[in-house]
Amino acid sequence: MIEVVRPGPLATVQDLGRPGYAHLGVPRSGAADAPSLRLANRLVGNPENAAGVEFTLGGAALLFHSPAWISVTGAPLDVRLDDRPQGMNTPVHVPEGGTLLLGVPPRGLRSYLAVRGGLTCEKTLGSRSTDLLSHLGPAPLASGARLPFGRVDTPMTVDSAPVPPLPDAPILRVVPGPRDDWFVPEALTALTSALYTVTPAGNRVGVRLEGPALVRAREGELASEGMVTGALQVPPNGNPILFLADHPTTGGYPVIAVVRHQDLPAAAQLRPGDEVRFRLS
Amino acid sequence: MRAVRRAGDGGLLVETAGLEDAHRLHRALRDAAIPGVTDIVPGERTVLLVAEPDVCDLDRLAARVATLEAGAAEAEDAPPVEIPVRYDGEDLGEVAELTGLSVREVVERHSAAEYSVAYLGFSPGFGYLTGLDDALRVSRRASPRTSVPTGSVAIAGPYTAVYPSPSPGGWRLLGHTDLTMWDVRRDPPSLLRPGLRVRFVPERTR
C-alpha cells in the first residue's frame, strides 16, 4: 500500500479510461498522455491499461508501506528515493518504508507513476480513471490517501526505454474540420501559421489557447454534436480550446480542426505559458 | 449518400437528415458492431463515430457509412419511460410570467407532451429531450445556479431535461423527480438513451 504524503498541485488515478459510454454523456477520460502511462506500465511488467498516477507539475511525496517496483515517465522531473536520485523511464525498486519524492518538471506538465501490480482502487464503469468533468472515479489524491496495488506474475523484461526529450516549441499536426466551413478561409491559415500561447485556465478537459482570433464566416448556433479528443473547438471569442481526455462528449461550438492522435501526448504536455504551432497534414 | 466529415484521424462526423435519422443511423451503426469503433455519439443532426486509428481504416469506414441503409434498423419500440414529477420547482412562477401562462397551464403543457431523448451530454445521463410545447420555450437564466439538485426537472430553449446528478446549471426548474436517472452500479447506468420516448407524470404537490 502507498500513502500519499503530498500529492503536488494535482494528482489523479488514471488508466486508459472508459470508452463506450460517450452516447450516455460519459467522457473517455484516462491518462491525458496515454503513451507515457503505457510505457510506465510496460516497464514494471503491467498490462498497458493498469491504473497508475498522473501527476501535474510533480511536487509529490509518496510513502511505501510495502515494497514495490515502480517506474516514472512523462514530463521529466527529479525522482528521489529517500534522497537518492533515481532514473526516469526505468524500473526502480522501493523497499518497505521508502519515500519517493518527485520534483517539479522544468518542462512538460504531466508525469506518470506505475506500480507493479497496478493500483487496485474501485472501478467505475470499467475504469479506475478520475474524470474531473463528470466526477467519476476516485477523488483527486489528497495528503493521507492510501493507494492499494495488486500483483502480477508477468516478468519485467524492459530495463529502460529511450524517450525523446519534449520539444521547445511543439508543432501539432491537425486535420481540418469537421466544421472549418464555419470560419473565414483566413482562420485556418491563421491557426496553422501563428503562434498560440497556452493560458493558465487549462485542465484535463482542455488546453485553452490565446492567439489570433479565429473568425467565423457564419452566424447562428451549431446544432450540438459529438466531440473528439484533440478537437480545436472555437467559442465566440475566437480563442480555440484543445480538448483532452475529460472533454465533454457533445458541444455546440464549431471545431475548426482536430489534432492527430500521434500528437495528443505532446498536447497533453503543454503547460501555461508554452507556445505551440499547428500544421496541416 | 450521406455527407461524412473527418473529425481528425480517428473520427467521422456523419450528417443526417435530422434527429430521427440520427437515431436510426445510431442504432444501425450499433447493430453493425464495427471492429475498432469505440464510441457512437448521436447529435441533433449528426452521428459521430470514434475509432481506434491504428485498428480502423477511416477511408473504408467513411465509404461504408456513407451508403449505410439506416432505414432497416429497428425503430425504437420501447414504451415511453414515465417520470413522476412533483411540480414545485423554484422557477415555476417565473416561467409562468415569461410565457404568459398560469402555473397550472405550465404544468399541464409540460406533462401533456410526449418527449424523445435527442442526445445525451453536459453530464453523464443528462438527456436533452425534444417535444417541448412551443409555448414553454424560455431562455436560460441570466446567471446559472452554482448547484442544481439531483432530480431537478427543468426547461431551456427547445429542451426539457432531468438533472441526473448535482451540477451547476442555468435551466429553469419546474419540479423534481425521485426517479434515479443515473447510477454507475446499474447496467446501463443511464435511465435515458438516445431515441427513447419519455413522459412526465405529475405527482400531487405537497
In the block, residue with C-alpha cell 525522482 = A79
Q: Residue B46: which of A19, A25, A225 has the nearest Cβ?
A: A225
Tell me the three cell numbers of residue B138: 424560455
Nearest-by-Cβ selection for A24 from B10, B125, B128: B125
- Contact check, Cβ <8 Å, A258/B6: yes
Sheet strands (E) in chain A: 2-6, 10-14, 52-56, 61-64, 68-74, 79-81, 84-86, 92-94, 99-102, 110-115, 146-147, 171-176, 196-198, 206-210, 225-226, 231-233, 241-243, 250-251, 255-259, 275-280
Own/partner contacts of A251-254, CB < 8 Å, gap of 24 or more, are: A251/A224, A251/A225, A251/A227, A251/B121, A252/A221, A252/A222, A252/A223, A252/A224, A252/A225, A253/A222, A254/A179, A254/A182, A254/A183, A254/A216, A254/A222
Q: What is the mean pLDDT of residues A117-129?
A: 97
Q: Which of A20, A25, A255 sits opposite B125 (nearest CB)?
A: A25
Give contacts of A255 with chain B, Cβ < 8 Å: 7
Q: Does B11 touch chain A (CB under 8 A)?
A: yes
Cβ separation B48–A135 shorter than 8 A:
no
Residue A212 distance to chain B (closest CA, Å): 22
* pLDDT bucket at A281, cuts 50 / 70 / 90: confident
Interface contact flag, B123 A134, Cβ < 8 Å: yes
Q: What integer best gives the mean pLDDT of chain B?
A: 93
- Are B55 and B35 in contact, with CB atoms under 8 Å apart? yes
Assess contact for B134 and B159: CB atoms under 8 A. Answer: no
Distance from A232 to chain B by nearest Cα, in Å? 10
pTM for the model: 0.95
Grid coordinates representing B121 are 451530454
Arithmetic mean of pLDDT, A11-29? 98
Residues of chain A contacting B37 with CB distance shorter than 8 Å: none
Rounded CA-CA distance A152/A162 in Å is: 24
SS3 B160: strand
B151 touches chain A (CB under 8 A): no
Mean pLDDT of chain A: 96
Q: Which residue of A has its CA nearest to B37?
A: A20
Whether the per-residue pLDDT at B68 is higher than 90: the answer is no
Nearest to B124 among A26, A174, A223 (CB): A26
Q: What is the pLDDT of residue B53?
A: 86
Interface test with A, best of B15, B37, B41, B181 (most A CBs within 10 A): B41
Nearest to A24 among B44, B47, B124 (CB): B124
Reported as a pLDDT band with limits 50, 70 and 90, residue B71 is: low
Is the preceding peptide bond at B188 cis, omega within 30 degrees of 0? yes
Cβ contacts of residue A150 below 8 Å, gap of 6+?
Answer: A117, A118, A119, A120
Pick B10's closest partner by Cβ from A124, A227, A261: A261
Q: Quick one: average pLDDT of A228-252?
A: 96
Q: What does the pLDDT read at residue B72? A: 55
User: Confidence band (pLDDT; 50, 70, 90) for B36?
Assistant: very high
Q: Which amino acid does the sequence have at A17? A: G
Cβ distance A23 to B45 less than 8 Å, yes or no, reads no
C-alpha A233/C-alpha A237 separation (Å) is 11
Question: Which of A21, A129, A264 would best serve as a mutation to test chain B binding (most B beta carbons within 10 A)?
Answer: A21
Task: Tell me the C-alpha distance between B68 and B25, whole Å.
Answer: 8
Residue B121: list chain A partners with CB under 8 A: 25, 224, 248-251
Q: To 5 degrees, how large is the angle CA B114–CA B96–CA B111?
A: 20
For chain A, say whether B125 makes contact (Cβ under 8 Å): yes
Which of residues A217 and B67 earns the better pLDDT score?
A217
Q: How far apart are CA B175 and CA B107, in angstroms?
A: 9
Torsion angles phi and psi, residue B28, rounded to 5: -60, -40
Identify the pLDDT of residue B42: 96
Q: What is the pLDDT of residue A217?
A: 95
Q: Residue A97: what pLDDT?
A: 98
Mapping DSSP to helix (H, G, I), strand (E, B) and coil, where does residue A196 land? Answer: strand
Query: Alpha-carbon distance A106 to A108, whole Å?
Result: 7
> Which residues between 67 and 96 in chain A have a beta carbon less than 8 angstroms from any beta carbon of chain B?
none
Name the grid cell of B195: 431515441
Pairing of strands A206-210, A241-243: antiparallel
Contact B195/A at CB under 8 A: no
ipTM of the complex: 0.95
Q: Any CB–CB contact under 8 A between A220 and chain B?
A: no
Chain B residues within an 8 Å CB radius of A228: 7-8, 10-11, 48, 50
pLDDT, position A57? 98
CB B156 within 8 A of CB B145: no
Question: Is residue A227 classed as helix, strand or coil in its secondary structure?
Answer: coil
CA–CA separation, B48 vs B42, rounded Å? 6
Pairing outcome for strands A196-198 and A52-56: unpaired
- Mean of pLDDT values over B127-143: 95
A255 in reach of chain B (CB within 8 A): yes
Is A265's Cβ below 8 Å from some Cβ in B?
no
B186 burial class (0-12, 13-18, 19+ CB within 10 angstroms)?
Answer: exposed
Phi then psi for residue A135, to 5 deg, are 55, 45
Name the nearest CA neighbour of A128 among B184, B166, B182: B184
Q: State percent of chain A over pLDDT 70.
A: 100
Q: Which of B6, B26, B42 sits opposite A178 (nearest CB)?
A: B6
User: Residue B73 has what pLDDT?
Assistant: 57
Per-residue pLDDT at A164 exceeds 70? yes
Whether chain A has a CB inside 8 Å of the CB on B190: the answer is yes
